[in-house]
């Protein structure tokens, strides 16, 4: 479908629409081309309209969170990219009942903000997510987390506009949360209910400080990256091996390819120079996977999502 046809496809929908919108600056890698259209719906109903029209016209539809786990091709992406940056997707309420506190939050909210606001109320339950840049929607889709836990453990349910334009509420037990993975139907998460608990504010602050310090000491936080490039692979007993250690043992820390480099600080981070090329990151990640396979006989799967024209992974 031509760009003009896509523009008319979005006509009359209550959304801010930007044609030919640069995506690189909206990702942590800071590289990559443009989206044919970037749409910020002003209501869930408008998001449903966009979804329905894209489905009927066969136009690709993607959703962008904070761009912290995303590599956008140098040639950009086709179709419509939705961004949940309007106020209706950033509302939150803290509801107390006899069972505890439930946080109802929009999927466009930054996790760091939710952690901070929970902390101000002396509520714990999200601190395992500290230092993971994400919107709530992106964290849920990836089941983001690490050694302190993941978003699944705090999730009661989520709301999703499916690729069929139907709005569903899905309980955590039906979301198929697994290690850095969900089995959700295709679609866009618009919000979630999260379970919080009363905490001693001092202990909560200390825990957050401790996790932040460990991350700051072991990750190249100032560089352009998307965090861990690869999932930790499982061995034959199901135990997760550290992809970073496998990369380190293969002697790949510091390896450069064009504008991309395997971080000398953390082997599972690939970093890129500002103004660099997505192609370099993609090629370097393939080299790393191949050399880890040559050395250890283990296949590494990419955790970072790669968007490109004509299809994404």
Ligand X SMILES: Cc1cc2nc3c(=O)[nH]c(=O)nc-3n(C[C@H](O)[C@H](O)[C@H](O)COP(=O)(O)OP(=O)(O)OC[C@H]3O[C@@H](n4cnc5c(N)ncnc54)[C@H](O)[C@@H]3O)c2cc1C
Which residues are near ligand X by CB under 6 A? 28, 62-70, 84, 107, 132-135, 137-139, 141-142, 144-146, 180, 188-189, 219, 221, 225-227, 305
To the nearest 10 degrees (0 to 180), the angle between helices 111-120 and 201-218 is 150
Angstrom distance (rounded) from CA 312 to CA 70 = 11
Helix/strand/coil percent split, the chain, to 5? 30, 30, 35
The Cα–Cα gap between 72 and 85 comes to 19
- Least distance in angstroms from the C-beta of 167 to ligand X: 13
Least distance between ligand X and beta carbon 294 (Å):
27
> In this complex, which beta carbon is closest to ligand X, that of residue 109 or of residue 255?
109
Q: Which of 296, 133, 275 lies closest to 215 in space, CA to CA?
A: 133
Quick one: which H or E segment has residue 261? strand 260-262
Measured from the CB atom, the residue of 8 and 171 that comes closer to ligand X is 171
> Of residues 180, 207, 302, 308, which has the active-site annotation?
180
Q: In angstroms, give the least distance from the CB of 50 to ligand X.
A: 13
**Catalytic annotation present for 303:** yes
Measured from the CB atom, the residue of 295 and 309 that comes closer to ligand X is 309
- Residue 99 Cβ vs ligand X, minimum distance, rounded to whole Å: 26
In this structure, are residues 76 and 33 in contact, taking their beta carbons and an 8 Å threshold? Answer: yes
CB of 268 to ligand X, least distance (A): 10
Residues contacting residue 217 through CB under 8 Å, at least 6 positions apart? none
**Cβ closest to ligand X, residue 6 vs residue 135:** 135
The single residue of 53, 54, 228, 308 carrying the catalytic annotation is 228
CA 272 to each of CA 118, 275, 281, 286, 291: distance values in angstroms, whole numbers, following the listed order: 34, 8, 7, 15, 20
Q: Are 192 and 105 in contact (CB under 8 A)?
A: yes
CB 145, min distance to ligand X, A: 5
* CB contact at 8 A, 56 and 15: no
Q: Which helix (H) or strand (E) covers residue 82, if one does? A: strand 77-83
Instruction: Tell me, yes or no, if 295 is annotated catalytic.
Output: no
3 state DSSP class of 130: coil
Q: Closer CB to ligand X, residue 103 or residue 144?
A: 144
Q: Give the span between the Cα atoms of 144 and 181, in whole angstroms.
A: 8
Q: How far is the CB of 297 from ligand X (least distance, A)?
A: 26
Whether 34 is a known active-site residue: answer no
Measured from the CB atom, is 107 or 194 closer to ligand X? 107
**Can you point out the beta strands (E) in 84-198?**
92-97, 100-106, 123-124, 145-146, 149-150, 155-162, 167-171, 187-198
- Which CB, 9 or 84, lies closer to ligand X? 84
Please give the angle made by the CA atoms of 71, 230 and 286, to the nearest 5 degrees: 70
Query: Which residues have a catalytic role annotated?
Result: 180, 228, 303
């Amino acid at each position: 479908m031509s760009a003009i046809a896509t523009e008319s496809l979005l006509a009359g929908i209550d959304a801010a629409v930007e044609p030919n919108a640069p995506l690189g600056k909206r990702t942590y890698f800071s590289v990559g081309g443009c989206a044919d259209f970037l749409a910020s719906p002003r209501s869930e109903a408008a998001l449903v309209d966009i979804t329905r029209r894209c489905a009927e016209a066969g136009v690709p539809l993607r959703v962008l969170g904070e761009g912290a786990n995303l590599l956008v091709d140098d040639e950009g992406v086709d179709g419509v990219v939705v961004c949940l940056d309007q106020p209706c997707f950033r509302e939150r309420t803290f509801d107390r009942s006899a069972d505890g506190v439930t946080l109802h939050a929009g999927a466009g909210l930054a996790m760091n903000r939710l952690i901070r606001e929970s902390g101000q109320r002396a509520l714990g339950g999200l601190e395992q997510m500290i230092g993971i840049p994400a919107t709530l929607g992106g964290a849920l889709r990836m089941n983001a987390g690490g050694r302190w836990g993941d978003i699944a453990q705090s999730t009661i349910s989520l709301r999703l506009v499916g690729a069929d334009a139907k709005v569903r509420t899905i309980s955590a037990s039906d979301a198929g949360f697994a290690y850095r993975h969900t089995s959700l139907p295709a679609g866009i998460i618009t919000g979630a209910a999260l379970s919080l608990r009363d905490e001693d504010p001092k202990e909560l602050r200390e825990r957050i400080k401790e996790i932040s310090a460990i991350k700051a000491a072991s990750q190249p936080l100032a560089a352009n990256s998307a965090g861990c490039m690869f999932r930790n692979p499982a061995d034959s007993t199901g135990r997760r091996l550290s992809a970073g250690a496998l990369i380190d043992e293969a002697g790949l820390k510091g390896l450069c390819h064009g504008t991309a480099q395997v971080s000398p600080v953390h082997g599972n981070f690939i970093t890129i120079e500002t103004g660099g090329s997505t192609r370099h990151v993609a090629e370097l990640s393939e080299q790393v996977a191949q050399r880890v396979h040559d050395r250890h006989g283990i296949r590494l799967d990419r955790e970072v999502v790669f968007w490109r024209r004509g299809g994404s992974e």
